[in-house]
Structure 1
Amino acid sequence: MDTQVQSFAVANLRRRPVVVETGGFVAGFDPDTTSPYINYATPLPGTTPTGEDVAALVAAFRERGLKPRLEFAPNAAPAVEPALRAAGFGTEAVHAYLVCTPATLVVPAPAPVVEAPGSDEDFTAVDAALAEAFSGEFASSPEGAARLRRLERDGGAVRFVRAPDGGCAGGACCSAPAVGTSELAGVGTRPAHRGRGIAAAVTAELAGTMFARGARSVWLEYSGEGSRRVYERVGFRPEGTRLYLSLESPES
């Protein structure tokens, strides 16, 4: 599964508004944001980069004023981590990922009603709710809502549970399938609405949506044991790890 997840990461970054491919790496950039969680790179499966290849990748970030950063499944490209560490990259995070298939998916019942955004106001509400759910890791913005609209337009999916006030209680999104799989991300519930099965409901709905569109699996990363239990209840199972490496600026 590591190679499939890594191949998906490559395909997904190639969907960014600006793509740079150099020395066995694919970097995806979005000029609307400087967020390192959107502007990053990943290696082609099996690539064996040289020091010059890494230097060229770093230059692609530096010339845009961005921190050089990669996300990848290390087992799919074993030569990459040593090359990056030799250039000074350090560990930002190590995340386990879970995988769901049509055979393992469990739809929770009873569950809150899950909707697809139908208006600009819905996309704005989802973006704002996820910003609140993730405690300000990113700010809600018109650009964030626009990215959600593009994702839905381009074959991915955004799903949410509506709050009593008409806004968004919680939601998540899933990238369009590639190489038979799809990444589910950004599962978040506003603090006032937690404990009501929202995360499980939107996760199951998104996975089912991707399976209906031809994906053979859906994968996600989790941030803690509580979220892992939620995902496992709807059919996600441990499969591997992904490594996040970044390079600080020379003056840091």
Structure 2
Amino acid sequence: MTDHMIDSVLSELERYYDTVPRVGGARAEDFGSLTLFVQEGQGWPYYARPALGGPDATTADVERVRARQRELKVPEAFEWVAETSPSLRAAVEAAGLHVHAHPLMVLETAEELPPHPLVRLLEADDPLLAAAVTVPALAFSDPGTAVGEAGLEELRAAMQDPSAEERRARVASMLASGRTGLAAAVRDGAVLCSGQYNPVGDVAEVVGVGTLPSARRQGLALGVTAALVARARERGARTVFLSAGDEDVARIYGRVGFRRVGTALIAEPADA
């Protein structure tokens, strides 16, 4: 992938990032250099990000948006791509926010990724949906690729939390409307890994792929990703991308054709 191709892809992803909250039901509030997306009604909380074609954001701009987020009682979160908004990191850090960096990767190969025998796609009425939307929460609370302790007992306990039903209902609505697709690795009726893809036009982002810590290192995350990519392509996606959790995860995705094109940055209060 040439530098020109990478620049073109990054421009495409900028348009995607600006569109996803809008089609997801968010209201866009204009702060000049920044756009704050505010979810209307039920749904995922969104973030602020650089306005398309806008000027560079200053620390004062960031502080104005944070004040509005506090007023609205929404997360004080900012998301952007380092390569397309290189000065924003200094502005958000000067405003007191902590920045997390994640490798931004685009699937370069046109070949079909190898399927996994345990992985299948789930629909809105699937009885395993509640488990499938809960597994990533356990995975991300114990990040990394090493085998961990949390397993099916912890999954059953997490599913008793009221937030699990809220997640299930949101994802079921998105599945029914075609705004997402979900795949899960299932063994003996238990969900071990799951993830989603969110399409906008001919671009799709693979999101939330997580494996129960006790079930790691079995190729399940790559199998789920392969199923999501296949479904996204079936439904017209030309560009498929993801943000890897860290460099170790990025190396795993690199083995199946994902190429790093940039760095996705997330800023939030240090105690968030």
Q: Which of the residues 116, 119, 136 maps onto 1:130? A: 136
Q: Which of the residues 28, 32, 37 maps onto 1:20? A: 28
Aligned length: 243
- Stretches of structure 1 that go unaligned for 5 or more consecutive residues are none
Question: CA 1:52/1:154 → structure 2, altered by over 3 Å: closer, same or farther?
Answer: farther
The equivalent residue for 1:46 is 53
Deviation, structure 1 residue 155? 2.8
CA distance in 2, matches of 1:231, 1:16: 27
CA distance in 1, matches of 2:13, 2:261: 10
Structure 2 letter corresponding to 1:195: R
Deviation string for 1:178-207 (max 9, x for gaps)? 4x3221111111133323221111101111
TM-score, normalised with respect to structure 1: 0.81
Q: Which of the residues 170, 188, 197 maps onto 2:193? A: 170
Deviation, structure 1 residue 27? 2.5
TM-score, normalised with respect to structure 2: 0.76
Q: Is the 8 A contact 1:156 1:177 kept in 2?
A: no
Q: Is the 8 A contact 2:121 2:184 kept in 1?
A: yes
CA-based RMSD:
3.0
Deviation, structure 1 residue 68? 2.0
Question: CA 1:11/1:118 → structure 2, altered by over 3 Å: closer, same or farther?
Answer: closer
The equivalent residue for 1:145 is 168
Deviation string for 1:82-141 (max 9, x for gaps)? 54445x1433211111111452x4422564332223525222010222222223799751
User: How many percent identity over aligned positions?
Assistant: 26
Question: CA 1:62/1:122 → structure 2, altered by over 3 Å: closer, same or farther?
Answer: same
Question: CA 1:218/1:110 → structure 2, altered by over 3 Å: closer, same or farther?
Answer: closer
Q: Which of the residues 196, 208, 211 maps onto 2:230? A: 208
CA distance in 1, matches of 2:267, 2:38: 17
Q: Is the 8 A contact 1:95 1:243 kept in 2?
A: yes
CA distance in 1, matches of 2:184, 2:115: 17
Deviation string for 1:47-72 (max 9, x for gaps)? 21466644442232011223422111
